[in-house]
């Protein structure tokens, strides 16, 4: 993991002091609500429906057991004893008090954490593939570059008041687990024929009101130019992005309006000033960043016969298949801890669970954890011989739902229960679906299905890129839900197509059942849901649902 | 004469911002809109010291070679949330080599001073604020990660 030096520590401590002073001036009436808004947002503090909400940064989803214990303590001392993992890998507290936020920031700083730029119209916390550094299909570890980007974007003087929020994701694996095609900037690490690292630069993707798949504007950017190129993109966006209408202010609208080619030309013209200047990354800096993400002290082990291990019990076998993934190191496995047990808001975790998980990270790994885009937690380095013991413990903690990758591992925003933007609730919809489809054999038979739920068109639940997307809409003060089908993330990302008129909340499980019934009837052997949809189109599903 | 923050101190300011784009001012030490400057450059120069302010949608590129003629360029912030002026500051200093006074005017706020300074601004016509207190915000951080005007070498080259 990255470890702060004196510079990093001084910067974060001064940030705490700065916000403490700003909060005091606000409470003293010296700063208006309007002026305080961007200041608090850039410190992670929202004002929500029921209370403030605080979003704490987990840069690129990497967390230590010590940090997780601190989060547990903070959630207990300053909140209601639980946290919520968001789709951008951050953790959110739903009930902090405004006056105590500077104290929370000071507590976070003691474990090298912060809430810098987790909200507001600035470069947000950078996200990454949660399996970075351990994934069997990895091209190169994304985290050193994420850390370099984190530092460059932290308090960037030029880009703290952008037209809108700005999100960067980096993926270093062949399978995209960071949704790089639907970020403001997506960076996909690729290798040249000679094995040299390059970045495919994708701009102008995004969800929300106007979902757009990003455009590639550089096929193979050399690592030393990473920051100067990002700075050029941001400078073009800062000057030309629309500011007259917040719904048209994201970079995706600018890239669409200019066309990706013309946008790229403007970036390259700006880059001409920046290229080869002081921002050019040095080998020493790249090596320094990589030095924090070296492979841990793995034991020399052989791979176990997982099929033989699975004979232990049917329950263990299910979990092993669904919730663990192939590791780079022989004898190890990546384990996903499901935060989707039925009856719990997807992504929620209690302080007690956080502490237990921190202990497990120490016991069954190297004290490191990951938070995921799918709102789960990951233990990245588990010895295969420990899997059975770990599974038993996770079962006791209610963190072993063997549903990772199935429809019941849904992404779900906090919705109308918590969020002041939402048009409709989303958590009860997720729960109703989970309860209807609690037959594991049926879920497994359906295969991988991404089901994503958003309570409004801001799309925090990423409904557009769900194979099945559910969007809460408001019709004359009543909550309804619109279904879309065929969305997908990954490098061939697609935006789902709207099925037709929306439904009442209580109808949703029946509607999903009809969609799944159509899929089961239409699919060819071994064909995933999204592939069947691509082959047959929307109409057969429409006919079944609206019959 | 009103006070402003300039070169890290509070000073009396003898410049006047002239927002009228139709008629000419009758004296120097005046900061005029870009459009007026472009239309009446010779007449304005005859008045003595004249500066130009850029509106938030007016890139410094529109000034062209005139940048070298001007002792003062101001950037007007119509709303503090409009951050285009931050990029204009760097562009003026880094790409156009502007060495004169770079002044922020309009609706920016005390808590932006540190970033404005980093982007090359050295004068701040901050309204309705206790300026002596506000100076503290120019020093919110002792250390920075990025390259910018006040620290052209990024931290990764200095560690």
- Which of B59, B140, B153 is nearest residue A14 as measured by Cβ atoms? B140
Distance from the Cα of residue A299 to its chain's centroid: 31
What does the pLDDT look like over A188-240, one tens digit per residue? 999 999 999 999 999 999 998 899 999 999 999 999 999 999 999 999 999 99
* B86/A5 touch (CB, cutoff 8 Å), yes or no: no
Nearest CA in chain B to A249: B82
What does the pLDDT look like over A10-63, one tens digit per residue? 999 999 999 999 999 999 999 999 999 999 999 999 987 667 899 999 999 999
The pLDDT value recorded for residue A420 is: 83
d(CA A509, CA A436): 7
Best residue of B61, B62, B88, B141 to probe chain A, by most A CBs closer than 10 Å: B141
The pLDDT value recorded for residue A418 is: 84
> Is residue A206 a contact partner of residue A252, using CB atoms and an 8 Å limit?
yes
* B154/A238 touch (CB, cutoff 8 Å), yes or no: no
> Is residue A501 a contact partner of residue A435, using CB atoms and an 8 Å limit?
no
What percentage of residues in chain B have a pLDDT greater than 70? 100
Interface of A with B (CB under 8 A): 5, 7, 10-11, 14-15, 18, 22, 31, 35, 38-39, 121, 148, 151-152, 154-163, 227, 235, 238-239, 243, 273, 277-279, 281-282, 285, 288
Best residue of B82, B110, B154 to probe chain A, by most A CBs closer than 10 Å: B154
* A238/B118 touch (CB, cutoff 8 Å), yes or no: no
Mean predicted confidence (pLDDT) in A433-443? 94
The pLDDT value recorded for residue A417 is: 86
What does the pLDDT look like over A444-453, one tens digit per residue? 999 999 999 9
Distance from the Cα of residue A365 to its chain's centroid: 23
Mean predicted confidence (pLDDT) in A166-182? 95
Alpha helix segments (H runs only) across A211-282: 226-240, 251-258, 260-274
Report residue B118's pLDDT band, with 50, 70 and 90 as the boundaries. very high
The pLDDT value recorded for residue A83 is: 97
Mean predicted confidence (pLDDT) in A269-275? 97
The pLDDT value recorded for residue A469 is: 97
- Which of B59, B86, B94 is nearest residue A157 as measured by Cβ atoms? B86
* B115/A157 touch (CB, cutoff 8 Å), yes or no: yes
Compute the CA torsion angle A164, A170, A175, A179 (nearest 10 deg).
-10
Q: Cα–Cα distances in Å, from A437 out to A512, A532, B56?
A: 10, 20, 55
Query: Where would I find the beta strands (DSSP E) of A136-234?
Result: 168-171, 185-191, 197-203, 215-221
Nearest CA in chain B to A36: B111
The pLDDT value recorded for residue A404 is: 97
Give the residue among A112, A97, A1, A13 at the shortest CA–CA distance from A48.
A97
- The DSSP bridge partners found for residue A334 are A325
The pLDDT value recorded for residue A419 is: 85
B5 compared with A416, residue with greater pLDDT: B5
How many CB pairs below 8 A link A and B? 103
Mean predicted confidence (pLDDT) in A506-530? 96
* A157/B148 touch (CB, cutoff 8 Å), yes or no: yes
What percentage of residues in chain A have a pLDDT greater than 90? 94
3-state SS, residue A325: strand
Report residue A542's pLDDT band, with 50, 70 and 90 as the boundaries. very high
Q: Cα–Cα distances in Å, from A542 out to A15, A447, A468, B130?
A: 53, 21, 13, 64
3-state SS, residue A178: coil
* B111/A288 touch (CB, cutoff 8 Å), yes or no: no
Give the residue among A518, A539, A541, A410 at the shortest CA–CA distance from A466.
A410
Nearest CA in chain B to A287: B156
Alpha helix segments (H runs only) across A324-424: 351-363, 387-396
The distance of A157 to chain B (nearest Cα, Å) reads: 4
Residues in B touching A282 (Cβ below 8 Å):
156-157
The position carrying tokens 């690729």 is: A190
What does the pLDDT look like over A83-128, one tens digit per residue? 999 999 999 998 899 999 999 999 999 999 999 999 999 999 999 9
3-state SS, residue A516: helix
Give the residue among B141, B147, B144, B83 at the shortest CA–CA distance from B109.
B83
Residues in A touching B84 (Cβ below 8 Å):
238-239, 243
Mean predicted confidence (pLDDT) in A250-261? 98
* A278/B81 touch (CB, cutoff 8 Å), yes or no: no
> Is residue B142 a contact partner of residue B16, using CB atoms and an 8 Å limit?
no
The 10 Å Cβ neighbour count of residue A463 is 32
Q: Catalogue the long-range contacts made by A388-393 (C-beta closer than 8 Å, 24 or more residues apart).
A: A388/A309, A388/A312, A388/A316, A389/A364, A390/A335, A390/A360, A390/A364, A391/A316, A391/A319, A391/A320, A393/A356, A393/A360
Is residue B1 predicted with pLDDT exceeding 80? no
Residues in B touching A42 (Cβ below 8 Å):
none
Is residue A159 predicted with pLDDT exceeding 90? yes
Nearest CA in chain B to A37: B81
Side-chain-facing half-sphere of B149: CA atoms under 13 Å: 26
> Is residue A412 a contact partner of residue A402, using CB atoms and an 8 Å limit?
no
Residues in B touching A162 (Cβ below 8 Å):
83
- Which of A39, A154, A162 is nearest residue B83 as measured by Cβ atoms? A162
The pLDDT value recorded for residue A211 is: 93
- How big is the CA angle at A84 (ends A188 and A383), to the nearest 5 degrees? 65
Mean predicted confidence (pLDDT) in A474-494? 92
Best residue of A25, A151, A158 to probe chain B, by most B CBs closer than 10 Å: A158
3-state SS, residue A330: coil
Residues in B touching A155 (Cβ below 8 Å):
115, 141, 144-146
How many helices (H) does chain A have, and how many strands (E)? 18, 21
d(CA A404, CA A373): 13
The pLDDT value recorded for residue A52 is: 87
For chain A, what's the residue count? 547
The 10 Å Cβ neighbour count of residue A492 is 11
What does the pLDDT look like over B10-60, one tens digit per residue? 999 999 999 999 999 999 999 999 999 999 999 999 999 999 999 999 999
The distance of B47 to chain A (nearest Cα, Å) reads: 33
What does the pLDDT look like over B25-34, one tens digit per residue? 999 999 999 9
* B82/A243 touch (CB, cutoff 8 Å), yes or no: yes
Residues in B touching A281 (Cβ below 8 Å):
156
- The DSSP bridge partners found for residue A82 are A350
What does the pLDDT look like over A372-420, one tens digit per residue? 999 999 999 999 999 999 999 999 999 999 999 999 999 999 898 888 8
The 10 Å Cβ neighbour count of residue B57 is 13
* B157/A238 touch (CB, cutoff 8 Å), yes or no: no
What percentage of residues in chain A have a pLDDT greater than 70? 99
d(CA A309, CA A314): 11
The pLDDT value recorded for residue A430 is: 95
Distance from the Cα of residue A413 to its chain's centroid: 12
Nearest CA in chain A to B78: A243
Tokens (6 digits) for A419: 């969020």
Q: Cα–Cα distances in Å, from B134 out to A164, B8, B79, B124, B130?
A: 27, 10, 19, 10, 6
The distance of A357 to chain B (nearest Cα, Å) reads: 33
3-state SS, residue B5: strand
Report chain B's C-alpha Rg in angstroms: 16
What does the pLDDT look like over A329-383, one tens digit per residue? 999 999 999 999 998 999 999 999 999 999 999 999 999 999 999 999 999 999 9
- How high does pLDDT run on average in chain B? 96
> Is residue A156 a contact partner of residue A233, using CB atoms and an 8 Å limit?
no
* Phi, psi of A513, deg, nearest 5: -60, -40
């Amino acid at each position: 993991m990255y470890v702060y030096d004196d510079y990093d520590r001084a910067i974060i401590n001064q940030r705490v002091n700065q916000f403490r002073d700003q909060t005091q001036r606000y409470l003293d009436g010296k700063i208006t609500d309007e002026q305080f808004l961007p200041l608090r947002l850039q410190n992670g503090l929202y004002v929500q429906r029921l209370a403030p909400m605080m979003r704490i940064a987990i840069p690129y989803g990497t967390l230590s057991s010590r940090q997780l214990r601190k989060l547990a303590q903070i959630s207990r001392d300053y909140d209601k004893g639980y946290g919520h993992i968001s789709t951008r890998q951050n953790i959110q507290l739903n009930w902090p008090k405004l006056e105590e936020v500077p104290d929370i920031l000071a507590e976070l700083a003691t474990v090298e954490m912060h809430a810098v730029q987790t909200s507001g119209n600035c470069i947000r916390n950078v996200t990454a593939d949660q399996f970075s550094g351990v994934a069997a299909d990895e091209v190169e570890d994304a985290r050193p570059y994420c850390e370099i980007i984190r530092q460059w974007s932290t308090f960037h003087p030029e880009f703290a008041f952008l037209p809108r929020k700005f999100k960067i994701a980096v993926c270093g694996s062949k399978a995209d687990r960071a949704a790089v095609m639907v970020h403001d900037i997506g960076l996909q690490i690729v290798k040249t024929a000679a094995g040299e690292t390059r970045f495919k630069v994708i701009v102008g993707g995004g969800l929300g009101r106007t979902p757009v798949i990003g455009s590639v504007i550089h096929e193979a950017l050399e690592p030393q130019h990473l920051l100067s190129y990002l700075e050029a993109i941001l400078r073009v966006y800062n000057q030309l992005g629309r500011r007259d209408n917040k719904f048209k202010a994201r970079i995706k609208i600018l890239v669409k309006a200019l066309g990706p080619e013309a946008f790229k030309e403007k970036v390259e013209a700006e880059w001409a000033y920046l290229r080869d200047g002081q921002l050019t990354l040095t080998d020493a800096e790249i090596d320094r960043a990589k030095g924090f993400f070296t492979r841990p002290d793995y034991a020399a082990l052989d791979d176990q016969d997982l099929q033989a291990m699975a004979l232990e019990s049917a329950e263990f076998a299910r979990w092993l298949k669904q919730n663990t993934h192939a590791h780079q190191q022989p004898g190890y496995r990546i384990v996903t801890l499901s935060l989707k047990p039925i009856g719990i808001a997807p992504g929620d975790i209690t302080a007690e669970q956080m502490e237990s998980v921190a202990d497990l990270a120490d016991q069954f790994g190297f004290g490191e954890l990951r938070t995921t885009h799918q709102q789960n937690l990951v233990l990245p380095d588990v010895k295969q011989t420990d899997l059975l013991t770990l599974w038993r413990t996770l079962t006791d903690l209610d963190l072993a739902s063997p549903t990772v990758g199935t429809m019941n591992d849904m992404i779900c925003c906090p919705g109308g229960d918590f969020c002041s933007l939402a048009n409709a609730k989303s958590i009860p919809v997720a729960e109703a679906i989970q309860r209807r489809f609690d037959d594991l054999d049926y879920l497994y038979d359906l295969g991988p299905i991404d089901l994503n739920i958003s309570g409004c068109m801001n799309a925090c639940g990423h409904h557009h890129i769900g194979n099945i997307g559910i969007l809460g809409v408001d019709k004359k003060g009543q909550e309804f839900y619109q279904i879309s089908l065929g969305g997908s993330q990954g490098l061939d990302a697609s935006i789902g197509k709207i099925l037709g008129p929306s439904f009442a909340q209580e109808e949703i499980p029946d509607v999903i059942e009809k969609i799944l019934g159509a899929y089961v009837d239409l699919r060819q052997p071994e064909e995933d849901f999204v592939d069947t949809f691509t082959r047959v189109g929307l109409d057969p599903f429409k006919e079944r649902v609206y019959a | 004469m009103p006070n402003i923050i300039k070169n890290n101190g509070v000073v009396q300011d003898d410049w006047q911002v002239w927002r009228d784009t139709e008629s000419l001012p009758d004296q120097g030490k005046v900061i005029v809109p870009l459009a007026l400057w472009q239309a009446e450059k010779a007449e304005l120069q005859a008045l003595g010291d004249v500066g130009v302010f850029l509106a938030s949608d007016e890139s410094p590129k529109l000034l062209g070679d005139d940048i070298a003629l001007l002792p003062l360029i101001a950037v007007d912030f119509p709303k503090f949330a409009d951050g285009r002026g931050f990029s204009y500051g760097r562009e003026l200093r880094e790409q156009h080599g502007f060495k004169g006074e770079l002044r922020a005017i309009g609706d920016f706020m005390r808590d932006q001073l540190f970033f404005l300074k980093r982007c090359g601004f050295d004068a701040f016509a901050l309204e309705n604020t206790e300026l002596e207190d506000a100076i503290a915000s120019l020093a919110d951080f002792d250390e920075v990660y990025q390259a910018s005007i006040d620290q052209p070498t990024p931290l990764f080259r200095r560690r």
